[in-house]
Amino acid sequence: MAKNILVLSGSPKKDGNTATLVDWLCQGARNSGAQCEVIQTAFLKYKTLGCTSCRACQKLAAYECVICDEAQPVLKKMAEADVIVMATPLYFFGPSAQLKIILDRMFSLYKWDNVAGTMVTPLKGKTLVVLASAFEDIGLDALAKPFELTATYTGMKFVSLLIANAGTSGHIADLADARNKAMTLGADIAQEKRT
């Protein structure tokens, strides 16, 4: 069965460096037999800008957010995917706000029992990939850290591809090494064994 890869692209530009990296990664994944769906998180319609901490999701049997907007089906797809790719430009040493909205709403994909000290999530055993670029060569390690910590906490495999010195929007297309790395990563995550 083909690997199901869900890419959440957090760039507000449809043709910038992040979009180019996503295209390359998906090309490598599809060439290796995976299914790759890309969702542009900057263009979804939200009722709220992030998690409202209502905790209503914790009372549901299902892993879903109670806020009915276009993030709801994205969260469901995250629970069903084999690999989740979070793609973003570097903005002030972190991911874009457009991607952070979805990251915060992931709260609904966890069930905590504070008395027993347990946590259960359908994300356990999946692969979380962070795909990011920056104009210069500082800040990408800071951007990747929350994703890495989330993966560790969740029991996910963590992989990152961080492209420094990518230049302004669109200039990454001139970096053959970045293209090769993104396509190779796409092929690798398409072929890795499920845990």
Q: How far apart are CA 18 and CA 172, in angstroms?
A: 9
How, if at all, do strands 127-133 and 4-9 pair?
Answer: unpaired
> CB pairs under 8 A, 24+ apart, for 117-121?
121/63, 121/154, 121/155
Q: Return the axis-axis angle of helices 176-191 and 17-31, rounded to nearest 10°.
A: 40
How, if at all, do strands 83-89 and 127-133 pair?
Answer: parallel
Beta strands in the chain (DSSP E): 4-9, 35-40, 83-89, 111-113, 118-120, 127-133, 157-163
Average pLDDT taken over every residue of the chain: 88
CATH of the domain at 20: 3.40.50.360
Q: Can you read off the two tokens belonging to residue 73?
A: 């089906």
pLDDT tier at 167, thresholds 50, 70, 90: low
How many domains is the chain built from?
Answer: 1
Q: With a cut of 70, say whether residue 35 has pLDDT above it.
A: yes
Q: How far apart are CA 30 and CA 15, in angstroms?
A: 20
Q: How far apart are CA 68 and CA 29, in angstroms?
A: 31
Q: Tell me, what DSSP letter sits at residue 150?
A: H
Q: Can you read off the two tokens belonging to residue 98?
A: 């457009």
> pLDDT value at position 161?
86
Beta strands in 90-182 (DSSP E): 111-113, 118-120, 127-133, 157-163
Q: Tell me, what DSSP letter sits at residue 34?
A: -
Strand pairing partners for 112? 119
pLDDT tier at 138, thresholds 50, 70, 90: confident
Q: With a cut of 80, say whether residue 166 has pLDDT above it.
A: no
Q: With a cut of 60, say whether residue 195 has pLDDT above it.
A: no
The whole-number average pLDDT for the span 81-106 is 91
**Phi and psi torsions of 135, nearest 5°:** -60, -40
Specify the residue for token string 């692209």.
Answer: 9
